[in-house]
């Protein structure tokens, strides 16, 4: 069992983002449904959290399209494969649950479960996984509203030549 060594909060346009780390990896990221506080505990002196906070600020400023942080590996090979497939979706693009499943030899339901249990929203961009038809779901922040904001934000920060979405 990994032991928490520090916690930090980052205030963002989608609410407070709580980051927790131990001495070797980021443990999890939580997008809280409403702004809670901007208190940071041990973040300034913690190298992983300091780097994570810097990368979050860059991402929300439109200066970063992916994260480079040490994450806790998943225990099972299938979970790790699904995490990698979700992480491979390019910034500003989306893939359906079925398309992600096909890309890694899994099933859409497993992709949905991987998104639901994703400990690293934004970093492992499960917001880029969308339903082929029907209502959207998102387990972080304010749910579908947060997912929509994140997708619009990424789209608006793409170079004009990469904006291919029909209005």
Q: Which residues form the catalytic set?
A: 126
Structure tokens at 162: 């990469």
Pairing relation of β-strands 26-31 and 15-21? antiparallel
Whether residue 28 contacts residue 48, with contact meaning beta carbons closer than 8 Å, is answered with no
Q: Which of 152, 100, 142, 97 is nearest to 121 (CA)?
A: 142
The residues pairing with 31 across neighbouring beta strands, listed in sequence order, are 17
Look up tokens 């205030």; give the residue. 11
Edge-to-edge strand list for the sheet holding 26-31: 6-12, 15-21, 26-31
Structure tokens at 52: 């994570």
How far apart CA 125 and CA 123 sit, in angstroms, is: 6
């Amino acid at each position: 069992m990994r032991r928490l060594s520090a916690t930090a909060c980052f205030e963002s346009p989608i609410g407070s983002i709580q980051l927790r780390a131990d001495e070797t990896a980021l443990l999890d990221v939580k997008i809280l449904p409403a702004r809670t506080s901007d208190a940071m505990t041990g973040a300034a002196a913690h190298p992983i959290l300091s780097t994570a906070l810097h990368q979050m600020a860059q991402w929300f400023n439109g200066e970063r399209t992916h994260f480079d942080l040490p994450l806790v590996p998943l225990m099972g090979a299938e979970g790790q494969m699904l995490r990698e497939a979700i992480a491979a979706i390019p910034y500003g693009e989306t893939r359906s649950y079925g398309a992600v499943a096909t890309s890694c030899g899994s099933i859409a339901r497993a992709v949905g479960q991987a998104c639901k249990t994703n400990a690293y929203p934004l970093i492992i961009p499960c917001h880029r996984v969308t339903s082929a038809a029907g209502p959207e779901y998102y387990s972080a922040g304010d749910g579908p509203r947060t997912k929509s904001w994140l997708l619009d934000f990424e789209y608006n920060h793409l170079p004009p030549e990469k904006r291919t979405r029909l209005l």
